[in-house]
Chains A and B, each alone.
Chain A
């Protein structure tokens, strides 16, 4: 089954068998995962390592992140790179809301994932409390290779091949919006 059937069978047959949409979904998911365009949300030191992951040594563009779009309307993943201060949190929410569905969030670094080494009045202790996070990347800062691995894990999640820590398969994003 799969792509071959798309060419050999009739559209009505495929719809009846429920194959067309599954194959189309997989095609769309494959396309989405290989063209994840991040929105520039570099905050602090992790932003420098995020920029360094685009350099020729660790080329993020070969993962499909060809450009970092400044406008959230044209991006589909937000890499929160750096410590999120409480003054910046509303801005983060607003930029996230401006991104069109489907969208994903990578929380890069220890400070974005858990507050990091800053446990005080000024830093949000987990970006997940502000936006729903898909991938957490540990490190202070994470090496560009770590960020690359994170993007690859996100690609698996987008395609529906990702598993969580208990071995349960995570669902692929269905249709045109987040489930």
Chain B
């Protein structure tokens, strides 16, 4: 029972445009990066927006991504963002529905729209501390019961154990990486070039200037 190799028989095309139309009507702002379309909705319109997108054809939920913008350079705005990664049944059109939250602010749950958001929102709660109101079972999912805090937040340390060398030196692994972060010189004594990488030594490269 195999489908022919010429693609899915489901109707496609226009789903993204229809969904965007409904979401911008609800107050969403669109943005685009490398072919990926995101819509930022106000929190009060989130569930209505997801249902509208689902009705427009974005019927499948892929993922719920929690993002902590605490140390993001140049970020002005709320600390957390929750992104719902949804797509249509052919898989060709994808939309990212974002909602921005402060620390401690709760977001409505999408489990009424997709039952599959259950574990995904629990994971976001566990890792980022974003509370989802109305979730049937909001508990920790992945971390042990006695771990306090939310590990993927930027202010939660990674918890590295220092390495004990045979000659008795105790070295914190972060010192090896310090040069890469741009703030601390670490063991190498070199600072990492202000996060511009090669561009900081080369200026604009030939292909960026419009030459071949």
A residues in contact (CB < 8 Å) with B: 85-87, 115, 119-122, 125
Is B189 close to A, CB under 8 A?
Answer: no
B residues in contact (CB < 8 Å) with A: 143-145, 147, 151, 156-161, 163, 173
Per a CB cutoff under 8 Å, which of B144, B157, B158 touches A87?
A: B144
Per a CB cutoff under 8 Å, which of A86, A115, A119 touches B144?
A: A86
Q: Give Cα distance in the complex from A172 to B82, angstroms.
A: 59
Q: How many pairs, one residue from A and one from B, have CB atoms within 8 Å of each other in the complex?
A: 25
Q: Quick check: B144 and A120 within 8 Å, CB to CB?
A: no
Q: Quick check: A120 and B147 within 8 Å, CB to CB?
A: no
Q: Which residues of B contact A115 (CB under 8 A)?
A: 161
Is chain A's interface secondary structure helix, strand, loop, or mixed overall?
A: loop
Given contacts A115-B161, A122-B151, 13 further A-B contacts (CB under 8 A): A86-B144, A86-B147, A87-B143, A119-B160, A120-B158, A120-B159, A120-B160, A121-B156, A121-B157, A121-B159, A122-B143, A122-B159, A125-B161
Residue in chain B with minimal CB distance to A88: B144
Q: Give Cα distance in the complex from A87 to B144, angstroms.
A: 5
Q: Give Cα distance in the complex from A121 to B127, angstroms.
A: 13
CB pairs A–B below 8 angstroms (25 shown): A85-B144, A86-B144, A86-B147, A87-B143, A87-B144, A87-B145, A115-B161, A119-B158, A119-B160, A119-B161, A119-B163, A119-B173, A120-B158, A120-B159, A120-B160, A121-B147, A121-B151, A121-B156, A121-B157, A121-B158, A121-B159, A122-B143, A122-B151, A122-B159, A125-B161
Q: Give Cα distance in the complex from A120 to B158, angstroms.
A: 5
**Distance in Å: Cβ of B68 to nearest Cβ of chain A:** 16
Q: Give Cα distance in the complex from A115 to B161, angstroms.
A: 10
Q: Which residues of B contact A119 (CB under 8 A)?
A: 158, 160-161, 163, 173
Q: Which residues of A contact B143 (CB under 8 A)?
A: 87, 122
